[in-house]
Structure 1
């Protein structure tokens, strides 16, 4: 399901800057318990190779939170979905929004949330109509298909946006 809501139902929106941890260059973010919710943050400031950096960072978070190594095929598929969504959102920021500024990943027992902030003015949307055989333009279609929900948050008076996506935690 795609949405233009700034946040998912029941959510207060993106986590405030006070509740997370800064990610060090090279993927060194810290886990932060927050009312049963774990969170990690990675800044892309001055970094190159941001897509593999983001995937490695997300993989480390999934290991820390017990999603990996996966004990079943369903858990392995859920972890791979998270890594694919991270790749797609960061790639979109690179291609359409002057590059990503920050990646935030948070998880509770039911939902994992991925947020990618950038300075772009564009509005992400799945290409319509989607043509599976055509190269390119599949990123937001993939996000839409894999996620429970997704959307865009803009802060008035601030350049850029945060694209967020939520995936169900494995059972």
Structure 2
């Protein structure tokens, strides 16, 4: 769950401090959906693509941070032209690594594959003792 307040907000960017707890994933999705609606209008709220892609990727990155990164502590969103740039920071400095080739029949291990398929770009940035940030962009206005 976020602390309930945006720590930095401008017209097309927001940073949310996250606190571990039930509902964190749903809250991250809701924060992202509100940002899409505010920054991209109706184009940012309807249809499966690209809004559902963005929400799916937020779910995957936040879930991976919870499972492998020692809990996410920050969600940053920024509208850049026609794209949304998303960053999720966690306390583990290790970069995400695929578990071998993608196998659709597996019950888990699809997060990085989805990032590669749905995001325009993605990557990681080391944050020293603060861990790392996984980021991605999705073209919202196609």
TM-score normalised by the chain length of structure 2: 0.87
| Equivalent residue, structure 2, for 1:25 | 3
Please report the RMSD computed on the Cα atoms of aligned residues, expressed in angstroms. Answer: 2.0
Match of 1:17 in 2: none
Question: Residue 164 of structure 1 aligns with which residue?
Answer: 135
Distance 2:59 2:28 in 1: 7
Alignment match, 2:62 = 90
Higher strand share: 2
Any unmatched runs of 5+ in structure 1? 1-23
How does 1:1-171 map onto structure 2 within 5 Å?
A: 25-26=3-4, 28-29=5-6, 31-33=9-11, 38-45=12-19, 47-65=21-39, 66=41, 67-70=43-46, 73=47, 76-156=48-128, 158-171=129-142
What's the CA shift string for 1:41-72, capped at 9, x where partnerless? 111135442111100111111111114432xx
Report if aligned partners of 1:93, 1:99 keep a CA contact under 8 Å in 2: yes
**TM-score normalized with structure 1 length:** 0.73
Give the structure with the higher percent helix: 2
Larger Rg: 1
Structure 2 unaligned residues grouped into runs of 5+: none
Write out per-residue CA displacement over residues 108-147 of structure 1, whole angstroms, 9 at most, x where no aligned residue.
2232111001101322133321111111100111111101
